[in-house]
């Protein structure tokens, strides 16, 4: 602008165009242009349109690839180089790598700007809910484990009941929902879910549900909605509630022995967090939560059994392997047979081909291989094959004094000891039977079936043995009985 002012001032003073051009170091056409300009008002800085580039015809294809990347694991997304290679190989595009790189960077910046442009302030009605999982550490039976806590948040009242779960699969999600529904006394008419693999997954406009969740949703009759991938803001209420529950109810790290019992207390503690004024509406959150409950659908008369049934073949040891790493024993008598495996959130149930129950194991989670081989399942077969005792799992599961005593016995005595263990285990459980055998061996130096079964029953009932302050002298009874015989 100073140069324009100088040009116009010189011309007003009568200086020639050629002289002005030489003095201002510009061309004569430039001088004439500024002299002819009738309007020097400021104009908006609009970028001039460039001529069409070769890359422009491929922009829709690149945008499609980038959109698909947003639903793909971050380590398997397109780089600019990979996009250039695909354009070259699949479309025969004659365009340089630098041109593709600039266009990809531009499209990514534009998408980021669209996401950050702002969010709608949504209105949530009573009864509507949002669901999501979060991660927490708990000291489960003495060992710190990384688990999940499921939160069903009600945005209208800002109250979010939570449940601790060992995993994030369909069984855990449906189990948590069922427990919360029963605690609420009703079913939310509409639930917004994250793009979680345990319940379902949304790919653009298509939603794929797990079979268990399909049955669960049809049983309870609620409406479900999935938010877009990488769009946590679409259910921001439950996102913040997940963090709030973790900070307030899982700090410090809680000790958990029974997960169902812990979850019952957790529901009441989540409700207690709502004993405050709503951040926007002013009323108490617990009062607004009462309105949420009034808007719930009625529970069905029949309780939904949260289980996924699969037919699986046991290996030659009578073991089925779930998820490729967790082994569950049905017993050697079921070796090579087809079994029905029921996967629940907390346990795995094994049935034979006719549907008769074989056993139930606690369900294992995690990436490390696990085995739930139950020594008690081998006792029946071991009684008929005592020769396998040295390499049996039953032997490895027994404490040293009892194991060493059985190692030194003849085949007949060993078989009788195993039959005693089997009977006590059936009546009082494995742990009580082993404790009873060790106790009888220590006190009598041997094992008798009646004494072991009685001691196992006492252990199962939680009854402590009678303890005397002083050693009991039974010689008086011997003398008394001896005197009776003499008098007779």
3-state secondary structure the chain: CHHHHHHHHHHHCCCCHHHHHHHHCCCHHHHHHHHHCCCCCCCCCCCCCCCCCHHHHHHHHHHHHHHHHCCCCHHHCCCHHHHHHHHHHHHCCCCCHHHHHHHHHHHHHHHHHHHCCCCCCCCCCCCCEEEEEEEEEEEECCEEEEEEEEEEEECCCCECCEEEECCCCHHHHHHHHHHHHHHHCCECCEEEECCCCCCEEEECCEEEECHHHHHHHHHHCCEEEECCCCCHHHHHHHHHHHHHHHHHHCCCCCEECCHHHHHHHHHHHHHHCCCCECCCCCCEHHHHHHHHHHCCECCCCCCCCCCEEEEEECCCCCEEEECCCEEEECCHHHCCCEEEEEECCCEEEEECCCCCEEEEEECCCCCCCEECCCHHHHHHHHHHCHHHHHHCHHHHHCCHHHHHHHHCCCHHHHHHHHHHHHHHHHHHCHHHHHHHHHHHHHHHCCCCHHHHHHHHHHHHHCCCCCCCCCCCCCHHHHHHHHHHHHHC
Among 383, 399, 396, which Cα is nearest to 438's? 399
Q: At a CB cut-off of 8 Å and minimum separation 6, what does 307 contact?
A: 171, 212, 342, 343, 344, 349
Residue-level pLDDT at 230: 45
Do 441 and 402 touch, CB atoms closer than 8 A? yes
Crossing angle for the helix pair 449-461 and 411-428, nearest 10 degrees? Answer: 30
pLDDT band at 41 (very low <50, low <70, confident <90, very high): low
Residue-level pLDDT at 482: 65
Work out the average pLDDT over 1-10.
Answer: 79
Residue 487 has pLDDT above 70, yes or no: no
Please state, rounded to an integer, the average pLDDT across all residues of the chain: 82
More confident residue, 430 or 112: 430
Nearest 5°: the CA angle 287, 293, 298 is 165
What is the gyration radius of the CA atoms in the chain, in angstroms?
Answer: 38
> pLDDT for 13-22, tens place per residue?
888 888 888 8
d(C-alpha 170, C-alpha 210), whole Å: 7
Number of Cβ within a 10 Å radius of residue 283: 12
Measured between alpha carbons, how far is residue 61 from residues 57, 66, 80, 104 in Å?
9, 9, 13, 11
Measured between alpha carbons, how far is residue 312 from residues 31, 142, 327, 437 in Å?
89, 33, 12, 36
Residue-level pLDDT at 186: 93
pTM of model > 0.85: no
d(C-alpha 317, C-alpha 391), whole Å: 14
CA 154 to chain centre: 21
> pLDDT for 115-130, tens place per residue?
554 444 556 778 888 8
**Parallel, antiparallel, or unpaired: how do β-strands 190-193 and 129-140 relate?**
parallel
More confident residue, 214 or 52: 214
Q: Which residues pair with 224 in a beta bridge?
A: 191
Residue-level pLDDT at 67: 86
> pLDDT for 46-95, tens place per residue?
556 666 778 888 998 998 898 888 777 677 889 999 999 999 999 998 89
Residue 180 has pLDDT above 90, yes or no: yes
pLDDT band at 105 (very low <50, low <70, confident <90, very high): very high
Residue 107 has pLDDT above 70, yes or no: yes
pLDDT band at 369 (very low <50, low <70, confident <90, very high): confident
Measured between alpha carbons, how far is residue 151 from residues 58, 103, 133, 163 in Å?
44, 41, 6, 7
The full set of domain ranges for the chain reads 2-36, 54-115, 129-294, 308-373, 377-461
Instruction: Provide, rounded to the nearest whole percent, the portion of the chain with pLDDT above 70.
Output: 83
| CATH dotted code for 129-294 | 3.30.420.10
Query: φ and ψ at 19, to 5 degrees?
Result: -65, -40
Residue 314 CB-density burial (10 A; 0-12 exposed, 13-18 middle, 19+ buried): buried
Residue 142 has pLDDT above 80, yes or no: no
d(C-alpha 398, C-alpha 384), whole Å: 19
Query: φ and ψ at 138, to 5 degrees?
Result: -135, 155
More confident residue, 451 or 8: 451
Do 198 and 276 touch, CB atoms closer than 8 A? no
Work out the average pLDDT over 206-226.
Answer: 85
More confident residue, 314 or 34: 314
> pLDDT for 373-418, tens place per residue?
667 666 776 787 788 888 777 888 888 888 889 988 888 888 898 8
pLDDT band at 465 (very low <50, low <70, confident <90, very high): low
pLDDT band at 232 (very low <50, low <70, confident <90, very high): very low
Instruction: Provide, rounded to the nearest whole percent, the portion of the chain with pLDDT above 90.
Output: 20
> pLDDT for 254-308, tens place per residue?
888 888 889 999 999 988 888 888 776 777 888 888 998 999 999 999 999 999 9
Query: Which two tokens mark 268?
Result: 């009441």
Number of Cβ within a 10 Å radius of residue 206: 7
Residue 231 has pLDDT above 60, yes or no: no
Residue 347 has pLDDT above 70, yes or no: yes
Q: Which residues pair with 162 in a beta bridge?
A: 151
Q: Which has the minimum average pLDDT: 40-49, 408-417, 452-461?
A: 40-49
Residue 30 has pLDDT above 80, yes or no: yes
Q: Which has the minimum average pLDDT: 174-188, 277-291, 366-380, 421-435?
A: 366-380
Crossing angle for the helix pair 59-69 and 97-115, nearest 10 degrees? Answer: 60
């Amino acid at each position: 602008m100073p140069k324009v002012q100088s040009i116009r001032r010189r011309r007003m003073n009568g200086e020639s165009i050629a002289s002005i051009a030489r003095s201002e170091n510009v061309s004569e056409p430039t001088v004439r242009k500024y002299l002819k300009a009738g309007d020097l008002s400021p104009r908006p800085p609009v970028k001039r349109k460039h001529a069409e580039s070769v890359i422009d015809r491929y922009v829709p294809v690149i945008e499609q690839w980038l959109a698909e990347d947003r639903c793909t694991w971050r380590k398997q997304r397109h780089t600019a180089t990979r996009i250039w290679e695909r354009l070259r190989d699949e479309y025969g595009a004659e365009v340089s790598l630098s041109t593709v790189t600039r266009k990809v960077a531009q499209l990514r910046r534009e998408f980021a700007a669209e996401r950050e442009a702002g969010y709608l302030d949504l209105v949530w009605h009573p009864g509507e809910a949002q669901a999501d999982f979060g991660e927490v550490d708990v000291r489960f039976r003495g060992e710190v484990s990384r688990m999940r806590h499921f939160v069903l948040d009600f945005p209208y009242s800002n109250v979010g009941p939570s449940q601790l779960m060992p995993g994030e699969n369909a069984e855990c999600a449906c189990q948590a929902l069922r427990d919360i529904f029963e605690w609420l006394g009703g079913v939310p008419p509409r639930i917004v879910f994250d793009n979680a693999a345990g319940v379902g997954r949304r790919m653009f406009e298509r939603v794929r549900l797990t079979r268990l969740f399909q049955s669960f949703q049809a049983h309870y009759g609620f409406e479900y909605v999935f938010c877009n991938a990488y769009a946590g803001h679409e259910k921001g209420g439950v996102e913040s509630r997940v963090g709030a529950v973790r900070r307030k109810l899982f700090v410090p790290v809680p000790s958990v022995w029974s997960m169902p019992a812990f979850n019952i207390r957790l529901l009441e503690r989540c409700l207690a967090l709502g004993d405050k004024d709503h951040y926007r509406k002013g009323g108490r959150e617990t009062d607004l939560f009462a309105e949420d409950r009034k808007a719930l659908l009625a529970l069905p008369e029949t309780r939904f059994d949260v289980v996924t049934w699969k037919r699986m073949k046991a290996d030659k040891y009578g073991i089925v392997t779930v998820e490729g790493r967790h082994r569950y024993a049905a017993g050697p008598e079921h070796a090579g047979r087809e079994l029905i495996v029921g996967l629940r959130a907390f346990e795995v149930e094994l049935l034979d081909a006719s549907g008769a129950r074989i056993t139930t194991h606690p369900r294992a989670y995690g990436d490390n291989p696990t085995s739930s081989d139950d020594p008690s399942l081998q006792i029946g077969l071991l009684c008929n094959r005592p020769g396998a005792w040295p390499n049996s799992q039953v032997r490895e599961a027994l404490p040293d004094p009892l194991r060493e005593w059985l190692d030194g016995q003849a085949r007949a005595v060993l078989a009788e000891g195993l039959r005693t263990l089997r009977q006590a285990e059936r009546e009082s459980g494995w742990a009580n039977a082993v404790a009873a055998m060790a106790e009888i061996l220590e006190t009598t130096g041997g094992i008798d079936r009646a004494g072991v079964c009685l001691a196992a029953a006492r252990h199962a009932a939680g009854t402590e043995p009678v303890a005397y302050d002083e050693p009991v002298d039974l010689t008086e009874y011997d003398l008394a009985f001896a005197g009776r015989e003499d008098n007779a």
